[in-house]
Structure 1
């Protein structure tokens, strides 16, 4: 799957939430996410523009744990990239497997996320600890499919939300100064 994503800085979420209500976006969740990022033993993901993380999302049944690989960005204006996710049941054992294979924990990113759905897009209002507030809009494209239309629709949705600048291609890790 290809994740087509664009992120922008946000001063506050109040104006955006008003616009989300005006366009009838549906709020679908509130999450506190804890992401532990790993670096490979044979290459530096900061240099190859890849990412490998374990994400914990507490929920009513305990917590959801997702191992995610993200490939290098595929264009110069968005964060479009190949993404592979798998649910795992045990954060500590998954981290131990990765560490035994030579991967090393590089950083932890924690954020509060308010999630909306509008048509094919997921809109996240992220408050990232020690980094700031951001709005991410993402949607999926199939591998081999031209993702430029999805990317253009995301930028149009940003315009509907009153956001036309402040776009950010760097990851939260990069914004934290982790290399």
Structure 2
């Protein structure tokens, strides 16, 4: 599956949240993300990602192992994604380290998630705050089977973002991982 996704800075988080509340019931969750790579950075050098995520919410905690391949769409950064739920996150962390992967960065994302049905697609809208980064972001994604549907899916995602008051000028491709690393290096909060 390919995650067709756009991400943007949110200028008025309260207004966007009110609009999202019209689409669906939101759920508040906290993500604990750890990204892995080899000592030589082989995954990063080919634009791949390996992540263990533990999601804490009202219904308890769940953990996911995710591998993302290189981008299939340069403008949006959309990538093929392979994800599975794991029963024991600590065991997965130990396995990855035992296989030679090293934690590159770990950080927290505070999220408000909405399962949105729009334009004939199931989408996930997420309002995101990362404590080490200034501002609020929105991620809107939908899954597609192959590259032939990516552009149409991104068009649908863009239309929903516009309905939420998000403009093309608000879109960003910068990564949370890069912004958090920059913050930790400089010792100050950063704008992504």
Provide the TM-score with structure 2 as the length reference. 0.84
* Unaligned ranges ≥5, structure 2: 183-192
Q: Which shifted more, 67-76 or 38-47?
A: 38-47
Relative CO higher for 1 or 2, CA cutoff 8 Å, sep ≥ 6?
1
Corresponding position of 2:162: 159
**Contact 1:109-1:172 at 8 Å conserved across structures:** no
CA RMSD, Structure 1 to Structure 2 (Å): 1.8
Corresponding position of 2:2: 2
Q: The residue matched to 1:27 in structure 2 has which SS?
A: coil
After TM superposition, give the deviation of residue 161 of structure 1 in Å.
Answer: 1.0
Structure with more helix by fraction: 2
Corresponding position of 1:177: 181
**Aligned residues between the structures:** 176
Provide the TM-score with structure 1 as the length reference. 0.90
How is 1:35-114 mapped onto 2 (pairs within 5 angstroms)?
Answer: 35-41=33-39, 43-59=41-57, 62-114=60-112
After TM superposition, give the deviation of residue 57 of structure 1 in Å.
Answer: 1.1
After TM superposition, give the deviation of residue 147 of structure 1 in Å.
Answer: 1.1
**Contact 2:33-2:52 at 8 Å conserved across structures:** yes
Cα distance in structure 1, aligned partners of 2:5 and 2:166: 15
Matched, 1:127 2:129: yes
After TM superposition, give the deviation of residue 43 of structure 1 in Å.
Answer: 4.2
